[in-house]
Amino acid sequence: MTDSEPVRSVVAEAPAAVKSPAIAAPKAAVRLELDGDEIIQLSIKPSLWFIAVVSAKWVLVAALLGVVVAVALQGGGTRQGLVTFQLLAGVAVARVAVAALQWASQLYVLTNRRVMRFRGILSVNVVGCPLTRISAADLRILGYERWLRLGSVHMTPVAPELPAVVWDHLAHPVEIHEHLLRAIRKAQSGS
């Protein structure tokens, strides 16, 4: 073959498409049975703002200490000053990384029978309470949470030996709270 000859390619024809049966569209909500007739109604994570809120104190303290070190050095960069800045930045980044792991390991679940909270990085802590045993589900929105459109729901059991279940840093807290109240009323009425 020379440079002036066209390059010939071989194209294989694809066989005629085989008709497959129609696939049904997925349902809007997937329901998973847990124990007999127990069905997950809601499974959510905290808002991503959780990472910023939880790590904010550490990051602010590291930044303030960095400013103090910069003022103490009065613009004269020394090796110890550079190491101090790197250490402070490392502490801030490590705290944000831990907060991200905490966010990733946290899950809130509502079934037709109970509410649960899963959290923990190295060991999982599970707290749950039957819906029929919840005396109150309070929506709490702090000042900074209002700005970030976050909130928390505190579910108090009727018996003191049962643990309270708290869902913190929720996005759309009003809607989630209303959903929880409907589920609690439905479970307590027996329908």
- Digit-by-digit pLDDT tens for the chain (191 residues) are 555 554 443 444 444 444 444 444 333 333 334 667 788 889 999 999 999 999 999 999 999 998 888 888 876 667 888 888 889 999 999 999 999 999 999 999 999 889 999 998 888 888 999 999 999 999 999 988 889 999 999 999 988 888 899 999 999 999 999 999 999 999 988 76
Measured between alpha carbons, how far is 97 from 102 in angstroms, rounded to an integer?
9
Q: Is 6 inside a domain boundary?
A: no
Kindly state the DSSP code that residue 162 receives in the 8-state scheme.
Answer: S
134 has which bridge partners?
157
Q: Is 11 inside a domain boundary?
A: no
Overall number of domains in the chain: 1
Domain with 48 in it: what CATH number? 2.30.29
Structure-block tokens of residue 47: 């808002």
Strands 125-130 and 114-119: antiparallel
Q: Is 56 inside a domain boundary?
A: yes
Q: Is 1 inside a domain boundary?
A: no
Q: Is the dihedral of CA 57, 44, 156, 144 positive or negative?
A: positive
Structural domain span for residue 93: 40-189
Q: Is 17 inside a domain boundary?
A: no
Q: Is the dihedral of CA 23, 29, 32, 35 positive or negative?
A: negative
